[in-house]
Amino acid sequence: MKPTVAILGAGALGEILAGGLLRAGWQLEELSLAVRREERCVELTERLGVACHLDPVAAVAGKRVVVVVVKPKDVPALLDQLKGALEGHQIVLSLAAGVPTTVFEKELGQVPVVRAMPNTPALVSEAVTAYAPGRYVTEESLKEAASVMEAVGKTVQLDENLMDAVTAVSGTGPAYLYLLAEALTDAAIREGLPRHAAQLLVDQTLKGTGALLAETELSPIKLRAQVTSPGGTTAAAVHVLEEAGFRAAVEDAVRAAAQRSREMGEAASEDDS
Ligand SMILES: NC(=O)c1ccc[n+]([C@@H]2O[C@H](COP(=O)([O-])OP(=O)(O)OC[C@H]3O[C@@H](n4cnc5c(N)ncnc54)[C@H](OP(=O)(O)O)[C@@H]3O)[C@@H](O)[C@H]2O)c1
């Protein structure tokens, strides 16, 4: 069963989510959007056909799942607007990075709040979203909130204290792979390949490898062993990457992103106290 959905903050991610829900079979009248600027509302209604409101309270009326997709810094102002407007049956699904469920519970009372971190492959319905229940969430409300994110990809339930790690791995993850794609394409061009061919080779290699990782039961170690013969080209390349500290650099990058996510979350909680 598809829950009705209000998307508060139909910016980049909010619009991607609305598009994904429509592709997954949600009907126009099962959705509503809210933004602050009238021109953005007009643009969204023209593009998606979904009702758009400048007042978030109007957008949430009659909707089961209320998705919060405003920037973390705009969450307090939105919660001020929403105070007293939610009914007992409504579930808040927050995608705002780093904002704890307690911030919502403090402002809105004993409402079910689910915190989730998706990523931008949602645009092609290939996101991965980790979600964590707040204090007042029931099994049923958790399932309904998860079903919204399943419309744009895969989901996994975790404890809220792991959300900073999720942000650093899959939330930020596309940027790591874009950087790899950029570096690999440049290297291919330096080896003499024409740009269009270099891009196709790199993009499809990433896509195909991702599909193998996701669809086979094999670990990355086993899959890598399959393409590495002793003294061969892959062994030579991997040796250079290991010597250059590739693995340590990835670990440091993830640690830095998780730390930044924690700092941003602490700032969001302090703003609210
Ligand atoms: N982009 C990502 O990859 C990604 C991934 C995971 C999570 N997130 C989270 O998603 C959230 C949104 O990110 P984004 O990149 O989509 O930001 P964005 O493009 O700036 O969109 C934010 C939207 O929120 C609207 N808004 C702000 N305050 C509002 C209010 N009080 N009532 C109604 N609408 C309001 C803005 O309306 P106007 O346009 O009218 O100003 C804007 O459309 C962030 O919290 C971010 O942490 C993003």
Cα(244) to centroid of ligand 1, in Å? 38
Ligand 1 pocket mutation pick from 57, 63, 71 by most atoms within 8 angstroms of CB? 71
The domain 5-159 having CATH identifier 1.20.120.80: the answer here is: no
Give pLDDT, residue 264. Answer: 81
For the residues 57-63, what does the mean pLDDT come to? Answer: 97
In whole angstroms, how far apart are CA 228 and each of 147, 211, 221, 240?
Answer: 40, 19, 10, 14
- Which pLDDT band holds residue 245 (cuts at 50, 70, 90)? very high
The residues lining ligand 1, judged by C-beta closer than 6 Å to any ligand atom, are 8-14, 34-37, 40, 56, 69-72, 74, 77-78, 81, 95-97, 117-120, 171
Give pLDDT, residue 1. Answer: 75
Cα(44) to centroid of ligand 1, in Å? 14
For the residues 10-38, what does the mean pLDDT come to? Answer: 97
What count of residues does the chain have? 273
- Please tell me what DSSP assigns to residue 170: I
Position in ligand 1 atom list of the atom nearest CA 16:
16
3-state secondary structure of 175: helix
Whose CA is closest to 34, among 12, 7, 16?
A: 7
Cα(159) to centroid of ligand 1, in Å? 24
Cα(139) to centroid of ligand 1, in Å? 28
Residue extents of the structural domains in the chain: 5-159, 173-256
E strand or H helix that includes residue 66: strand 65-68
Lowest-pLDDT choice from 28-32, 218-222, 256-260, 261-265: 261-265
3-state secondary structure of 5: strand
Contact (CB, 8 A) for 117 and 171: yes
- Which pLDDT band holds residue 272 (cuts at 50, 70, 90)? low
112-129 pLDDT, tens per residue? 999 999 999 999 999 999
- Which pLDDT band holds residue 266 (cuts at 50, 70, 90)? confident
What pTM was estimated for this model as a whole?
A: 0.93
Residue having the nearest C-alpha atom to atom 24 of ligand 1: 9
Which residue type does 101 have? T
Give pLDDT, residue 265. Answer: 78
pLDDT at 271 over 70: no
3-state secondary structure of 65: strand
Residue having the nearest C-alpha atom to atom 42 of ligand 1: 11
Position in ligand 1 atom list of the atom nearest CA 10:
43
Tell me which residue has tokens 């895969």.
154
- Please tell me what DSSP assigns to residue 4: P
Mean pLDDT of the chain: 95
pLDDT at 153 over 80: yes
Tokens of 251: 């670990």
For the residues 147-166, what does the mean pLDDT come to? Answer: 97
198-216 pLDDT, tens per residue? 999 999 999 999 999 999 9
Superfamily of domain 173-256: ProC C-terminal domain-like (1.10.3730.10)
Ligand 1 pocket mutation pick from 8, 13, 114 by most atoms within 8 angstroms of CB? 13
16-27 pLDDT, tens per residue? 999 999 999 999
Q: Fold match between 5-159 and 173-256? A: no
**Distance (Å, whole) CA 201 – CA 211:** 15
